[in-house]
C-alpha cells in the first residue's frame, strides 16, 4: 500500500514544519496553493496562522468553495490552531464584517478565536490526549478553544477546562501546534486514519 498523499495548505503558517511532520509520520506531503494541487491530494492539513487572513487568501486563490466541497465529500483534514478555527461549523467571534474568518463546516463545533488571550498570553502545557500514550506537550499561540461540540464530535484533549483537541470521523483539530515540538504522534494519528 502506498503512502497517502497529504497536502498542507500553504497560504500562511507553519507549512514547512507540517510537511516534515507528515513525512516522518509516513505520508507523502506536498504544498497546496492551487485548485489542481487540492484535487491531487487524499487529505489536507490546515496549519496555524491568522484565520481571517487565511479566509481572505482562500477566496483570493479561488480555493474556498473547492475546499468546502472536498471536505463535504469526505476528504480527511487536520487543522491546528487557525486550522481548527476554519474547520469549525461555527466561529464565536469571526471578526468584523468583510474581514472575518469563514468556517468550512467540516467539524460540528463552535470555536472561539484567541480564546486563551493575545500573543503575550501564549503558553505551553502538557495535556492528556485520548488515543496517545503519555501526555502531549502542547504549544498554544493565540490559541482558540472549543465552546460547543456536536453529538458526533469526540473530545481528545482539554486545557483550562476547554476542549483543545477534537475528532469527528476523519477530521482532526487541535488548538495547539504539535508541528513545532518534534513529537509526531498527533500527525501519525491523522496519517494512520487515512
How much is the pLDDT for 1?
A: 67
Average pLDDT over residues 80-94: 94
Instruction: Check whether 141 is labelled as a binding-site residue.
Output: yes
Average pLDDT over residues 157-169: 97
How much is the pLDDT for 96?
A: 73
Instruction: Check whether 124 is labelled as a binding-site residue.
Output: no
How much is the pLDDT for 99?
A: 79
Q: What is the CATH number of the domain that holds 125?
A: 3.40.50.880
Which pairs from 87-94 meet CB under 8 Å and 24+ separation? Answer: 87/46, 87/171, 87/173, 88/146, 88/173, 89/150, 90/148, 91/51, 92/147, 94/52
Q: pTM higher than 0.85 for the full model?
A: yes
Average pLDDT over residues 92-102: 81
Is residue 173 within 8 Å of residue 87, measured between CB atoms? yes
How much is the pLDDT for 174?
A: 98
Q: What is the pLDDT of residues 32-63, one digit of tens each?
A: 999 999 999 999 999 999 999 999 999 999 99
**Assigned C-alpha cell, 74:** 469526505
Range of the domain at 167: 5-193
Confidence check: pLDDT of 75 > 70? yes
How much is the pLDDT for 58?
A: 97
Overall number of domains in the chain: 1
Query: Which residue among the candidates 17, 18, 56, 179 is catalytic per the annotation?
Result: 179
81 as an active site residue: the answer is yes
Instruction: Check whether 17 is labelled as a binding-site residue.
Output: no
23 as an active site residue: the answer is no
Q: What is the pLDDT of residues 136-147, one digit of tens each?
A: 999 999 999 999
Percentage with pLDDT > 90 across the chain: 89
154 as an active site residue: the answer is no
Instruction: Check whether 122 is labelled as a binding-site residue.
Output: no
Q: What is the pLDDT of residues 4-35, one digit of tens each?
A: 999 999 999 889 999 999 999 999 999 999 99
Query: Which residue among the candidates 17, 56, 81, 187 is catalytic per the annotation?
Result: 81
Instruction: Check whether 142 is labelled as a binding-site residue.
Output: yes
Sign of CA dihedral 10, 140, 114, 77: positive
Q: Please, what is the average pLDDT of the chain?
A: 95
Amino acid at each position: 500500500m502506498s503512502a497517502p498523499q497529504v497536502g498542507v495548505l500553504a497560504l500562511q503558517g507553519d507549512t514547512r514544519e507540517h510537511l516534515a511532520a507528515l513525512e516522518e509520520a509516513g505520508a507523502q506531503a506536498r504544498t497546496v496553493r492551487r485548485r489542481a494541487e487540492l484535487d491531487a491530494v487524499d487529505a489536507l492539513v490546515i496549519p496555524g496562522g491568522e484565520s481571517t487572513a487565511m479566509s481572505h487568501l482562500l477566496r483570493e486563490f479561488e480555493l474556498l468553495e473547492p475546499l468546502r466541497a472536498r471536505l463535504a465529500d469526505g476528504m480527511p483534514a487536520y487543522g491546528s490552531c487557525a486550522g481548527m478555527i476554519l474547520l469549525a461549523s461555527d466561529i464565536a467571534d469571526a471578526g468584523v464584517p468583510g474581514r472575518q474568518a469563514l468556517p468550512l463546516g467540516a467539524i460540528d463545533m463552535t470555536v472561539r478565536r484567541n480564546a486563551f488571550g493575545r500573543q503575550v498570553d501564549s503558553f505551553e502545557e502538557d495535556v492528556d490526549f485520548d488515543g496517545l500514550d503519555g501526555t502531549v506537550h502542547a504549544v498554544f499561540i493565540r490559541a482558540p478553544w472549543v465552546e460547543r461540540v456536536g453529538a458526533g464530535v469526540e473530545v481528545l484533549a482539554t486545557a483550562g477546562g476547554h476542549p483543545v483537541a477534537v475528532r469527528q470521523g476523519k477530521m482532526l483539530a487541535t488548538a495547539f501546534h504539535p508541528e513545532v515540538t518534534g513529537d509526531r504522534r498527533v500527525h501519525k494519528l491523522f496519517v494512520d486514519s487515512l
